[in-house]
Structure 1
Amino acid sequence: MYRLLSLFGLFAFLAICWAISKKRSAVKWQTIAVGLVVQFGFGLLFLSWERGRAFLDSTGHGVKSFLDMSLAGSEFLFGFMAKQEVVLEHLKGMPPDVVKGGFLFAFQVLPTIIFFSAFMAVIYHLGIMSLIVKGIAWCMVRTMKTSGSESLSVASNIFVGQTEAPLLVRPFLARMTQSELMAVMTGGFATIAGGVFALYAGFGVDPGHLLVASVMSAPAALVVAKLLVPETEESETYGTVRVNLEKTSSNVVEAAATGATDGLSLALNVAAMLIAFLSLIAVANWALEGISSLFDLATPLSLQRILGWIFAPFAFLLGVEWKDIVPVGELLGYKIAVTELVAYQQLTSDSMQATLSARSTAIATYALCGFANFASIAIQIGGIAALVPERRSDLSKLGVRAMFGGAIASWMTACVAGVLLDF
């Protein structure tokens, strides 16, 4: 029954996008249909096929082992504090959430971001990632009949962030159609970057599911973008894929050093965001608790509970178990209103893990995998407008719609996972 609910939710999200489309009569249904087939194809390959599941499990273990190599650097710098077993031995008797959210995060998870950022910079310098991205974009152009520039940007979003991906199509940004610009922005909101991939894997989120979620959300982002803002103009890159990636480093050593510096900036930003947002959430809950006491409410208010009620209908459409609709709604609310960083932190907390079923946890993992939140609207507009100042007005007009589209794309991926995963 829950599988059918996930399937219903998938088409419900498509219907919502079509209902608020800028020009419903211009929607190219071949692109939509092929995009769904591609998304389901990836799902069947990795989630239903036995060898695909084995590959996914192996990939998850491989990624975890690879990320654990960052301990070589963090143990040298931080000593015993970077060793989980030693820290846990010294902190016996303390609440699990305190241990997990304190020493282990600061001294084990954040260094992983620096290491993975340096690694990504190296493989970009060597041209390996460009070949992979070009191959994925070529497949999208041939199957979905989208333009080369938008396909290239969305494909690169599988591996890099929402402000880095547009660099690959920088020469075309000024002359992109409205629909192409929408696709570029939606792709950024629908996926996550390599650096935070390492972060969420460090939280305890299954890295295999994170990888599959990003891959499946790429065609979903194009589907949603072409529903919300259908193509009505002529693209200069239709049917072609051209990679324009300028090397910013002269050799591998410089690339690794630059990547490490960027990773440090990201790690510090992540730490600052967690401190700020978790503290602000505590303030909001304190105020809501006071209001509850003042009016003698039978059910005390909290930010989590309010977000859960607001986003419960969307959680229902994802196909989570009945008892988990409000808790998953809380997570969706955290993702949109705050950031997916806090949402994943809440998802992996012991209290949430004790509440959610395996099915609901897996679906939530897919639904949260994307940068679709209000703060990211400003990040995207600022980042892309720095490359093409003349398109700032267009970016601002598309911002909220693209963010909503990115969230829908992630939720569509979660629905596909809900249909195909066995529990």
Structure 2
Amino acid sequence: MYFLLNIVGLIVVMAVVFLCSPNKKKIKWRPIVMLLVFEFLITWFMLGTKVGGFVIGKIGAFFTWLISCASQGIAFAFPSVMANPTVDFFFSALLPIIFVVTFFDMLSYFGILPWLIDKIGWLISKISRLPKLESFFSIQMMFLGNTEALAVIRQQLAVVNNNRLLTFGLMSMSSISGSIIGSYLSMVPSTYVFTAIPLNCLNALLIANMLNPVDVSKEDDIIYVPSKAEKKDFFSTISNSMLVGMNMVIVILAMVIGYVALTAALNGVLGLFMHGLTIQKIFSYIFSPFAFLLGLTGHDAMYVAQLMGIKLATNEFVAMADLKGQLHSLPPHTIAVATTFLTSFANFSTIGMIYGSYQSLLDGEKSAIIGKNVWKLLVSGIAVSLLSAAIVGLFVW
């Protein structure tokens, strides 16, 4: 029964996005079907085969090694803290970002990361038959993050029309940066994190194609490649990367502290009107229909719905920290669905990040396309997370 409900949930998500699309007649269904088939194959490979499990294990081991390297640097600066049996969130999940950002920038400097992006982006473009730039952008987001990926294609963004600009904004809601993965792994199972990452990339393309279908001519379907003149020397690159990583740590820390405190204050106010009323309970009721459609039982559906609301209102770190404390008491299907849904940047603050990026990279007239379509960005981010969770849920019971 719950398996069938999960299938219905996947169909409902697609139907809701279709109803939200202002240009239903322009939707290209062949790329959507191709992407869905490819996603099912990826999910089956990752979760249903020994080879897939082996691949996930190796990727997980690689990131564990990265975190262990980062921990040595943290231990040098904070030896007494790292010697404790339990390490605070700031030291275990946030500070490693400094090294991981630097490591990924080193891969970019030596051309390894651009090569991966080029090959995977080409493959997705061939499978989906969607524009090359959008296909490559989905892969850039996976490794670099949304704001960094937007900066890479800034010259091309300046000349594309507003419809395509909106497409990149819609896709940016579902991004995940490789530099953040280590922080996720300290809180939730790696298997579902690494399965969610490629699914989110493909679903970002799929949902954007439904919400904002565009036609791109062959002459406009080109990729911007940064010139060698833009490349800095190696030591300047890694030094700047460390500063960027530290800035990310501070920003995430500020957001986590601020949003958790804001939630506590809001819960205090709500408690004055009704005893026991919290923002988490309100969100659990709002998102509960979608949680039930992911094949979850009553109690688990309400809890996952609560996590959905926390993620949307605050960020995935707050929700993952909550989920981490409940992993021991939840069944595999619930853990898989919840972890997959949380593995993305889709929340209100991400809209601000995207708008700010457009403002800094483009003129005010072009960046206004984001402000005018906030609801579409929210629909895109939530739909991608729900679709990825529904697909993963079909393979884990």
Relative to the length of structure 2, the TM-score reads 0.94
Matches within 5 A, 1:23-422: 23-83=23-83, 87-88=84-85, 103-202=87-186, 204-232=187-215, 234=217, 236-238=219-221, 240-244=222-226, 250-293=232-275, 300-348=276-324, 350=325, 352-389=326-363, 390-421=365-396
Displacement of 1:177 in angstroms is 3.9
The residue that corresponds to 1:297 in the other structure is: none
CA 1:311 to 1:262, structure 2 compared with 1: closer, same or farther past 3 Å? Answer: same
Asked whether the 8 Å contact 1:152–1:169 carries over to 2, the reply is no
Moved more, 65-74 or 352-361: 352-361
Letter in 1 for 2:361: L
Number of corresponding residues: 396
Structure 1 residues 130 and 44, CA, compared in 2 at 3 Å: closer, same or farther? same
Give the distance between the partners of 1:407 and 1:282, measured in 2 at CA: 24
Amino acid at match of 1:335: K
Structure 1 residues 224-276: Cα deviation after superposition (integer angstroms, max 9, x where no partner):
011111124646433x5453376765333222211111110111112111211
Per-residue Cα deviation, 1:7-38 (whole angstroms, up to 9, x for no partner) = 22111111111111111111111111111112
Shift of 1:406: 2.1
By how many angstroms is 1:6 displaced?
Answer: 2.0
Deviations 1:146-191 (A, max 9, x none): 1121111111111121111112322221232444323322222112
How large is the Cα RMSD of the aligned pairs? 2.0
How far, CA to CA, are the matches of 2:56 and 2:353 in structure 1? 32
- In structure 2, what residue type is equivalent to 1:81? V
Per-residue deviation, 1:287: 1.7
Task: Kindly state the Cα deviation for residue 344 of structure 1 after the two structures are TM-superposed.
Answer: 1.4
Quote how far apart the aligned CAs of 1:223 are. Answer: 0.8
Counterpart of 2:306 in structure 1: which amino acid? E
Q: How far apart in 2 are the matches of 1:232 and 1:62?
A: 40
Paired residues of 1:177 and 1:235 also in contact (CA < 8 A): no
Contact 2:66/2:100, CA 8 A, preserved across alignment: no
- 1:71: Cα distance to partner? 1.4
> Structure 1: how far apart are the matches of 2:229 and 2:347?
31
Contact kept? 2:102, 2:242, Cα under 8 Å: yes
TM-score, L = length of structure 1: 0.88
Letter in 2 for 1:15: A
Distance of 1:246 and 1:146 partners within structure 2: 28
Q: Counterpart amino acid of 1:397?
A: K
**In 1, Cα distance between the equivalents of 2:70 and 2:82?**
10
Question: CA offsets, 1:341-379, max 9 Å, x none?
Answer: 21112211x2x3355322111111111111111111111
Compared with structure 1, are the counterparts of its residues 171 and 250 closer, same or farther at alpha carbon in structure 2 (3 Å cutoff)? Answer: closer
Q: Deviations over 1:275-324 (max 9, x none)?
A: 1111111111222222224xxxxxx2111111111111111122233320
Question: Residue type matched to 1:379 in 2?
Answer: M
Assess, with a 3 A threshold, how the Cα gap between structure 1 residues 2 and 177 changes in structure 2: closer, same or farther: farther
In structure 2, the gaps of 5 or more residues are none
Task: Tell me how far 1:46 sits from its aligned partner.
Answer: 0.8
C-alpha separation in 2, matches of 1:177 and 1:287: 45
Identity of aligned residues (%): 26
SS in structure 1 opposite 2:277?
coil
Paired position in structure 1 for 2:22: 22
Change (3 A) 1:328 1:131: same
Change (3 A) 1:6 1:213: same
Deviations 1:39-85 (A, max 9, x none): 112112211122112221232233223211111111111113113xx
CA contact (8 A) 2:166 2:369 kept: no
Q: Is the 8 A contact 2:141 2:177 kept in 1?
A: yes
Q: 3-state SS of the aligned residue for 1:158?
A: helix
Q: How far apart in 2 are the matches of 1:319 and 1:243?
A: 44
Conserved in 2, the CA contact under 8 Å of 1:48 and 1:420?
A: yes
